Amino acid sequence: MMNTKSTERLLDVRGLTVEIDGRNGPAVVVDGIDLHVDKGETLGVVGESGCGKSLTMLSLMRLLPNKIKVTKGSATFDGRDLQTMSNGELRKVRGGDIGFVFQDPMTSLNPVMRVGDQICEPLIYHRGMKKAGARARAVELLRLVGIPGPEERLQAFPHELSGGMRQRVMIAIGLACNPKLLIADEPTTALDVTIQAQIVDLVKDLRAKLGMSVVWITHDLALIAGLVDRVAVLYAGTVVEDAPVDELYARPSHPYTRGLLSSIPKLSDPPASRLSSIGGTPPEPGRRPKGCPFAPRCPLVEAVCHEKVPRLEPLSGSSHRAACFVVQRMQEAA
């Protein structure tokens, strides 16, 4: 098949570092992340709870909570630096060219504002629509995300909706302005599996229609396998592996990714062996080991892993990269 996709870079994150100002001084939670998304591309970001997925994305939008800040690195969107642009410029990008679906709809929807007004707001602010036009578009968006009786739902307050409905409202808001980039942070966790699949299909469809790029954050690699072009695997605030999705499934390289993939249950597995999760827990912020952050849990660990931090390096010159001394050495030997 011919690759017709352009490879123009839309989002480019380099060495992004985020620190939390805690009681025992600053602690690194996002440690020099490199991520990129090309125009029209969909990137899946996976990793277990607490590995820094949400903080990474919030830092791009400069929406980090109090006492958490970016201390190093850069992020450019469409050639413009997100970290240094003025607040006014950033407001134009946020919710306009970059649509965001936050992980927790209850804290990101305004509890005292009707759902319809919350969907209309970006349309009026970013796209200069008149109220009537914006309402018509809001109805269309609610229908698109599978909300029945959308005209009546516009009048509802967030607390009058179920968790799944609120999540769909968030998705409608994220998509409202036909963004160039949609960043979706666990957008379907509160939904039934059938609805999850519908939302994945909806995003696929819109991506094809609008040429939108997507960053989809999840724990659930299986859910997004058919949606994403490429996957970045995060561990303890760093990217430990990234590769085209088929390549990642065919040849997972980093021991952490291999652990993640073998913990995806297969129907053919006997029930008892379905969740073979990785032993141990990730390091707490402020207690990062000196070397590779995965070393304390790694089945392949060697002396060097406790001493030095491995860099993300291409494997055999391909677009598949892994940050692991052992994997890199095996590649060289091969």
Ligand X SMILES: Nc1ncnc2c1ncn2[C@@H]1O[C@H](COP(=O)(O)OP(=O)(O)OP(=O)(O)O)[C@@H](O)[C@H]1O
Tokens standing for residue 241: 């592996």
Q: What is the nearest approach in angstroms of Mg ion to the Cβ of residue 284?
A: 16
51 vs 312, beta carbon nearer Mg ion = 51
DSSP 271: G
Strands in 313-314's sheet, in edge-to-edge order, are: 98-101, 181-185, 213-218, 42-46, 230-235, 238-244, 321-322, 313-314
Q: Which stretch binds ligand X (CB under 6 A): 5-13, 50-58, 134-142, 271-279?
A: 50-58
Tokens standing for residue 166: 């609120």
Regarding 65 and contact with ligand X (CB under 6 A), the answer is yes
Q: What is the nearest approach in angstroms of ligand X to the Cβ of residue 160?
A: 26
Pairing mode, if any, of strands 68-77 and 9-22? antiparallel
Query: Cα separation of 261 and 247, whole Å?
Result: 13
Task: Identify the residue among 52, 150, 255, 310 touching ligand X (CB under 6 A).
Answer: 52
Q: What are phi and psi of 42, to 5 degrees?
A: -120, 125
Task: Identify the residue among 39, 54, 63, 206 touching Mg ion (CB under 5 A).
Answer: 54
Q: What is the nearest approach in angstroms of ligand X to the Cβ of residue 50?
A: 4
103 vs 196, beta carbon nearer Mg ion = 103
Q: What is the nearest approach in angstroms of ligand X to the Cβ of residue 285?
A: 5
Task: Identify the residue among 285, 291, 293, 310 touching ligand X (CB under 6 A).
Answer: 285
Query: Cα separation of 152 and 132, whole Å?
Result: 15
9 vs 62, beta carbon nearer ligand X = 62
Sites for ligand X among residues 103-142 (CB under 6 A): 103
Place of tokens 């980039």: 181
44 vs 47, beta carbon nearer ligand X = 47
Q: What is the nearest approach in angstroms of ligand X to the Cβ of residue 57?
A: 8
Q: Which stretch binds ligand X (CB under 6 A): 47-55, 126-134, 144-152, 161-169?
A: 47-55
Beta-bridged to residue 12, according to DSSP, are 36, 76
Regarding 168 and contact with ligand X (CB under 6 A), the answer is no
**295, 302 contact by CB (below 8 A):** no
Tokens standing for residue 63: 């929406």
User: Which DSSP helix (H) or strand (E) runs through 74?
Assistant: strand 68-77
User: Which DSSP helix (H) or strand (E) runs through 135?
Assistant: helix 131-144
Binding mask 229-248 for ligand X (x = CB under 6 A): --------------------
How many residues at the interface with ligand X, by CB under 6 A? Answer: 14
Q: What is the nearest approach in angstroms of Mg ion to the Cβ of residue 185?
A: 6
Regarding 286 and contact with ligand X (CB under 6 A), the answer is no
From ligand X, Mg ion, none, interface partner of 70 (C-beta below 5 to 8 A by class): none
Q: What is the nearest approach in angstroms of ligand X to the Cβ of residue 107?
A: 11
86 vs 107, beta carbon nearer ligand X = 107
Provide the residue type at 334 as one letter: A
User: Which DSSP helix (H) or strand (E) runs through 124?
Assistant: helix 115-127
Beta-bridged to residue 184, according to DSSP, are 101, 216
Binding mask 78-107 for Mg ion (x = CB under 5 A): -------------------------x----
Regarding 54 and contact with ligand X (CB under 6 A), the answer is yes
Provide the residue type at 312 as one letter: L
Tokens standing for residue 286: 């402020």
**315, 321 contact by CB (below 8 A):** yes
- For 324-333, give one letter per residue: b (16+ CB within 10 A) or e: bbbbbeebee
Q: Which stretch binds Mg ion (CB under 5 A): 47-55, 75-83, 113-121, 139-147?
A: 47-55
Contacting positions for Mg ion (CB under 5 A): 53-54, 103
Task: Note the residues at the interface with ligand X (CB under 6 A).
Answer: 20, 29, 47, 49-55, 65, 68, 103, 285
